[in-house]
């Protein structure tokens, strides 16, 4: 099982632009003044294969708030999984853990005793995610942390679902307090979980892009392209063959 986690925010008490239904000739207007009443954040754990989201709004997202919540939610997810079968030897089990560290410049030191690997957890490469106590707790539960590289946040699908939730909760609104922001974000999460959409790499969008690339005609010397076939000049061989036919 693979899950992703991330923390969205901070969300301020400011007007958020968005699409609105307005009468013709009367454009939507946003307040030009607002009061800074603090910020809110959203702690998120996302399961891409099912689309299910576990999230909680908070005023602060320090380790003292983040780690207990993550432990609680991850423990609940593991309880829903089927019990692991003890069919692998200790060496085979360690190989399963170590295969996820191949190619890393700074691999994590695995403990001597490892339980069965039950979950992969994708996280940002932040200091709070790498504290020894938290990482050891993950190992004890059979969870392998996978940290995204610098400038590689797009590899974490939790950021994608957070953008969707923010758009649904805050677009076209002007929250006055952080409490309102938290309530609207959590309401958007509940609405999403009623009919979640699974996420996957590639899919129909990737196939459309592949077909589009096939239809393109590359232009030499640059990254430009054209969708129309270019009439190319005849090669020297073709010109010679045409000249021979004319002379005979």
Mean pLDDT by 10-residue block, N- to C-terminus, for the chain (248 residues)? 88 82 73 80 92 92 90 92 78 85 82 88 86 91 87 81 91 89 93 88 75 72 66 64 70
Give the per-residue pLDDT at 227. 67
Contact at 8 Å (CB) between 16 and 172? Answer: yes
**Is residue 39 in a domain?**
yes
**Is residue 77 in a domain?**
yes
Give the per-residue pLDDT at 156. 83
Give the per-residue pLDDT at 100. 87
Q: Please check whether residues 27 and 137 belong to one and the same domain.
A: yes
**Is residue 91 in a domain?**
yes
Give the per-residue pLDDT at 174. 86
Give the per-residue pLDDT at 237. 65
Domain count, the chain: 2
Range of the domain at 32: 2-194
Give the per-residue pLDDT at 201. 72
Q: Please check whether residues 135 and 47 belong to one and the same domain.
A: yes
Give the per-residue pLDDT at 197. 87
Task: Report the C-alpha gap between 67 and 141 in whole angstroms.
Answer: 14
Q: Please check whether residues 188 and 243 belong to one and the same domain.
A: no
Q: Please check whether residues 240 and 174 belong to one and the same domain.
A: no
Give the per-residue pLDDT at 53. 93
Place of tokens 């699974």: 198
Q: Please check whether residues 47 and 90 belong to one and the same domain.
A: yes
Q: Please check whether residues 225 and 189 belong to one and the same domain.
A: no
Q: Please check whether residues 109 and 150 belong to one and the same domain.
A: yes
Q: Please check whether residues 76 and 130 belong to one and the same domain.
A: yes
Continuous H helices in the chain: 63-80, 90-98, 132-140, 157-170, 178-194, 203-215, 236-247
Q: Please check whether residues 139 and 42 belong to one and the same domain.
A: yes
Q: Please check whether residues 38 and 151 belong to one and the same domain.
A: yes
What pTM, to 2 d.p., does this model score? 0.74
Task: Report the C-alpha gap between 68 and 206 in whole angstroms.
Answer: 38
């Amino acid at each position: 099982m693979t899950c992703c986690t991330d923390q969205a925010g901070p969300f301020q008490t400011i007007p958020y632009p968005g699409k609105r239904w307005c009468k013709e000739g009367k454009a939507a207007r946003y307040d030009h003044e607002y009061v800074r009443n603090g910020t809110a954040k959203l702690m998120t754990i996302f399961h891409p294969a099912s689309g299910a989201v576990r999230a909680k709004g908070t005023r602060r997202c320090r380790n003292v708030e983040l780690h207990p919540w993550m432990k609680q939610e991850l423990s609940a997810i593991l309880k829903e999984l089927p019990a692991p079968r003890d069919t692998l030897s200790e060496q085979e089990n360690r190989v399963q853990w170590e295969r996820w560290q191949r190619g890393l410049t700074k691999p994590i030191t695995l403990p001597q005793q490892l339980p069965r690997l039950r979950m992969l957890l994708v996280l940002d490469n932040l200091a709070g995610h790498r504290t020894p106590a938290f990482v050891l707790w993950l190992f004890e539960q059979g969870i392998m942390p996978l940290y995204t590289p610098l400038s590689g946040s797009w590899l974490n699908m939790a950021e994608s679902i957070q953008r969707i939730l923010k758009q649904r909760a805050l677009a076209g609104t002007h929250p006055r307090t952080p409490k309102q922001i938290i309530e609207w974000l959590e309401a958007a999460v509940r609405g999403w979980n009623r009919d979640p959409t699974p996420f996957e790499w590639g899919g129909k969008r990737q196939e459309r892009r592949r077909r589009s690339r096939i239809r393109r005609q590359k232009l030499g010397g640059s990254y430009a392209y054209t969708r129309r076939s270019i009439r190319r000049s005849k090669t020297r061989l073709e010109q010679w063959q045409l000249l021979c036919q004319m002379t005979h």
